Structure formats: C-alpha cells, structure tokens
Amino acid sequence: DADVTQTPRNRITKTGKRIMLECSQTKGHDRMYWYRQDPGLGLRLIYYSFDVKDINKGEISDGYSVSRQAQAKFSLSLESAIPNQTALYFCATSAAGTGELFFGEGSRLTVL
C-alpha cells in the first residue's frame, strides 16, 4: 500500500459544486501539503500544515480550504468549483526539519 494515499484519483464535476480531495498517510509525519499542477507548469503550494493545530496558506490558497482532521489526514476542499481549478492535485508529507517530501499519486480534477 502507498504511504501517501489520495482519493479520488480522478473526478469530473460541474461549476459551482463542492468538492473534497482527501489525503491520508502512514509515514507518521507531522507536515502535510497540498500542491496544484497545471499542464506544463511546476507545482504550486496551496496550503500546508505543520501539525493538527497549524494550518498555513500557500501561494495560491484563494478558492480553497483545508482541514487537518488528524495527524494522518489532510483534506482539500473547493467550496464552489470553477473551471480554472481544473488541475492535477498532489498531497505530500514530510518529517519536521527535512526537505524530503513524499508525494501521493495525485488527484486529477476536471471542472466543467
């Protein structure tokens, strides 16, 4: 089983719908991250969490919210999806103090 699991792997939805992407990890890491990747571009950080009580905005947090339900779970929500949120979303984890991130397999979201 993967150390970092994302669900769903693929989702097609309509404009205005609420969407939740879930991430769970078995690494025991404190740090969790949500990144977004658009075609031909690098990854951009949406939100990150250093522990259950610590949530921080990344460079592109507008239109997104997150919830850290437990050390192992970090969810990303789109309250009202719009077409330009169509992208590949990655969850990642890391241990405190390290720069080695472990990524999930990605969630491909299409907003029509």
Partner 1 sequence: DAKTTQPTSMDCAEGRAANLPCNHSTISGNEYVYWYRQIHSQGPQYIIHGLKNNETNEMASLIITEDRKSSTLILPHATLRDTAVYYCIVRLPLRGNEKLTFGTGTRLTIIP
20 is a contact residue toward partner 1 (CB under 8 A) = no
74 is a contact residue toward partner 1 (CB under 8 A) = no
Dist. CA 22–CA 32, nearest whole Å: 12
100 is a contact residue toward partner 1 (CB under 8 A) = yes
58 is a contact residue toward partner 1 (CB under 8 A) = yes
At which residue do the structure tokens 């939740």 appear? Answer: 20
The stretch among 11-19, 63-71, 73-81, 94-102 that binds partner 1 (CB under 8 A) is: 94-102
Distance (Å) of CA 38 to CA 53, 58, 84, 109: 29, 16, 10, 11
42 is a contact residue toward partner 1 (CB under 8 A) = yes
105 is a contact residue toward partner 1 (CB under 8 A) = yes
Dist. CA 25–CA 20, nearest whole Å: 17
62 is a contact residue toward partner 1 (CB under 8 A) = no
Q: Whose CA is closest to 86, among 29, 15, 24, 27?
A: 15
Q: List contacts with partner 1 (CB under 8 A).
A: 4, 31, 33, 35, 40-45, 48, 50, 58, 88, 90, 92, 94, 96-106, 108
